[in-house]
Amino acid sequence: MTAVDMQASAAALAERALELPELAHARTVAAYVSVGSEPGTLALLDALRARGVRVLLPALLPDNDLDWGAYAGENSLARVQHGGKMALFEPTGERLGPDAVTDADVVLLPGLAVDARGMRLGRGGGSYDRVLARLEGAGAHPSLVVLLYDSEVVERVPAEPHDRPVHAVVTPSATRRFREP
């Protein structure tokens, strides 16, 4: 994809995601800043913030777990290189702790693909598996939504016994629901 294509996809993705009733009523959304060739998320983060939504962004911990901080605009992000892993954009403000995600009404998840069952394929680091386990352990039931390109919604991805299906996937051209939160 060209830079222009990626920008157009990010705008379409934000527009489609903002139509979700879950996001229309959310007070707190846990999200992420896209990196590399991932579908762009900054337009969506800024639109949520403009609505008065508290947006939490992850900060990768040394053990691959995630801490959280509040998003206060693009200027509140720092590019952080994590060893041999990719660089991530993380919030520069106060760290709220790994349990802060349990306050989210919606959790926007990155992924490589989602299948027809709603199973998400991640990058293999286990960070979001820990988030989902933390939510379950706390009895929290936010809407789980993956943001992808259309081509990343596939028939089947590998799944482990600990994997949990998501509620929906949003792409630049469609929203597909798998189950109610």
Which pLDDT belongs to residue 137? 94
Q: 118 a known binding residue?
A: no
Q: 146 a known binding residue?
A: no
2 — pLDDT class (breaks 50, 70, 90): confident
- The average pLDDT across 111-124 equals 91
Q: 125 a known binding residue?
A: yes
Q: 127 a known binding residue?
A: yes
Which pLDDT belongs to residue 7? 86
For the ranges 115-119, 122-126, 158-162, the one whose mean pLDDT is highest: 115-119
Write out the residue range of the structural domain in which residue 157 sits: 3-177
Q: 33 a known binding residue?
A: yes
For the whole model, what pTM was predicted?
A: 0.93
Q: 173 a known binding residue?
A: no
In this predicted structure, the answer to whether residue 164 has a pLDDT above a threshold of 90 is: no
Task: Report the CATH number at residue 115.
Answer: 3.40.50.10420
Question: How many domains does the chain contain in total?
Answer: 1
Q: 36 a known binding residue?
A: no
Q: 32 a known binding residue?
A: no
3-state secondary structure the chain: CCHHHHHHHHHHHHHHHHCCHHHHCCCEEECCCCCCCCCCCHHHHHHHHHCCCEEEEEEECCCCCEEEEECCCHHHEEEEECCCCCEEEEECCCCCCHHHHHHCCEEEECCCEECCCCCEECCCCCHHHHHHHHHHHCCCCCEEEEECCHHHECCCCCCCCCCCCCCEEECCCCEEECCCC
